[in-house]
Chains A and B, each alone.
Chain A
Amino acid sequence: MIAWNWSSAILIGSGTIYSSNAGLILDYPVNKPYLIWSHTMGQMIIFLHQLPLFIIIYLLGGIQVNINMLYIIPSICIIFAINIGVAAALSILVVRYRDLNKILTSLIVVIMIVTPIFWKPEMVTGMRALVYYLNPFYYIVEIIRNPLLGLEPKLFHYVVSSIIALASLLVGAFAHKRYSKYVVFWV
C-alpha cells in the first residue's frame, strides 16, 4: 500500500507540477528539470517517512529481519527513476491537456483494483493472470513489498521494473526536450 501510494501520488501530482508553479514560470526563466526533480524528490521523502511504520509491523507481525530486506535500496532507486520519467512526461501532457488530470484521478482507482495490492497474484490463474502480468504497477509494488516483508525478490520483477524505468526515462527525456519550451504558453 505504501509503494502504491508513492507511485499513484506521482501519477496524480505530476500533472500539477507546472500549473502550480505558473507564477514562477511566467516571471523567471525557470530551470524546468529542477521543478520535476523537486516534486519527485518530495514524493520520495514522503515515502521514506512512511518506512518506520514497518518497525511496528515487524514487531506486531513477528516478521524476521533478514538480508533480503536490503533489496529495498535498489528497489527505491528503480522506482525513483520510473517516477522521474513519468513526472517529466505527464507534467507536460497534463499542462497541455488539463482534463487529463481528472481522467488520471478516476483511472487510478481502476488501476488499484487490477493491481495485486489487496489480493494475491496466486488467486488469479490462467489467462486472467494477464491482468497483473501486463500491469506495470504490479512489478513496482512487488519490488518494494517483497524486500519489506523479508521475502526473496524475483529477478524477473527487477528486470521488468528496470525496463519500465528505462522506457519511462526515455519518454520523459523526449517529451521534455521536445515540448518543455512550450510550457510557458500552456500554464
Chain B
Amino acid sequence: MTVREVYLEVSGGNLMLPINGTEKRLFSRESLKKAVGGRIVSENNKKYVQCLKDVNIRLESGDRLGLIGHNGAGKTSLLRALSGIYPIGSGEIKVSGKISTFISQGVGLSPDMNAVEYLEMQCVVQGYNKKETADFTAKVLDFIELGEFAYMPIRTYSSGMKARLMASTAIFFPCDILLIDEGIGAGDANFSEKFDKRLKEFFAAAKIMVMASHSNDLLKKWCNKGAVMAKGEILFLGEIGEAIAYYKSLQAPFFKKNKISVGN
C-alpha cells in the first residue's frame, strides 16, 4: 500500500476582495483603507482590498505554521483561500490531503436545535454518510457529557455547555491538513483538562497545521514555523521563534510611540 504524500502549496497567490457599493459613498479612499487594514486597489472604477499579494508557501508533513500579523493583515483570508472558500484571483494552490477548516465556533448553530441535530448538521456539511454521522455523533456526545441535555434545545444550555459542544465538534473531524483561526477553547474550567488532552491528540494527528493567532504563547506551543503577514504579503517565513521576534521588531516603533507593552 502506498502512503499518500500530504502537502499544501501556494505559488504566486493573489486575492482581491471586491468592496461593493463604495463607488458613490461619501467616505474617502483613505478612511476605507483604515477600516479594512488591507491595501485598497481601484480597477475599472471598482474598489478591492488586496487580501493576499504574491503569497508563496509550501508545507509538508510535520509542518505547523503559525500566521502572525495585525488585524486585516490577511491571516484569515489566507486560511480561507487555502481551504477553497475564497477563489484566488491568480496564482495556484495545490493540495494533497483532506482539509478541515475551523475559522469560527458555532457555525450554523440555532438556539432551537438540540446537540444531536447540531452535530448531524455539521456532518452534512462534511459530506458524511449515515453511518459516519451516527459514529461521529455518538463519539462527540460521549465526550461532551451533556447527558439528557443532548436532546434539549441549545437555548436551554449554559454558556459552558454551549462552548463544550461547539469546540468539541471541531476536534473530532479527522483530517490531514488543519486550518485554524485563533485557536480553540472549551471555556469550561472543569472540562478544559479533558479537552486539552483531546486537542493535543487531534493536533498531533493532523499532518499539516496552519494556525492564525494573536497569541504568541499559543503559536509557540503548537507551531514550529511562523509567517509574518502585513497587507496581504508574507514579510517573513521561518522558525516560529524567529518569526515572533521579527514581528516584535516591526511592532516596536509603534508600541514605543503609543507607550504599550509588547508582552510575551
Contact = CB atoms under 8 A, between A and B. Distances in A.
A39 to B, nearest CB: 14
Interface stretch (A22-30, A107-115, A143-151): A22-30
Interface in B1-22: 17-18, 20
A25 B86 CA distance: 10
B125 A26 contact: no
A184 interface: yes
Contacts of B107: 23-24, 27-28
Nearest to A181: B87
Contacts of B20: 96, 186
A23 B166 CA distance: 14
Contact of B85 (A21, A29, A31, A96): A29
Contact of A28 (B17, B85, B86): B85
B53 interface: no
B80 A26 contact: yes
B101 interface: yes
A185 interface: yes
A152 to B, nearest CB: 43
Interface string A11-46: 000000000010111111111001000000000000
Nearest to A23: B107
Interface string B45-56: 000000000000
Contacts, number: 40
Main secondary structure of the interface of A (DSSP, over half): helix
Range of interface residues on chain B? 10 to 19
Main secondary structure of the interface of B (DSSP, over half): loop
Interface in B72-114: 80, 83-87, 101-104, 107-108
A27 B87 contact: no
B125 A24 contact: yes
A102 to B, nearest CB: 15
Contacts of A185: 17-18, 86
A5 B203 CA distance: 50
A11 B54 CA distance: 42
B101 A26 contact: no
Interface string B12-50: 000001101000000000000000000000000000000
Interface of A: 21, 23-31, 34, 96, 181-182, 184-186
A-B CB proximity, top 5 nearest:
A29-B84, A27-B103, A23-B107, A27-B107, A181-B87
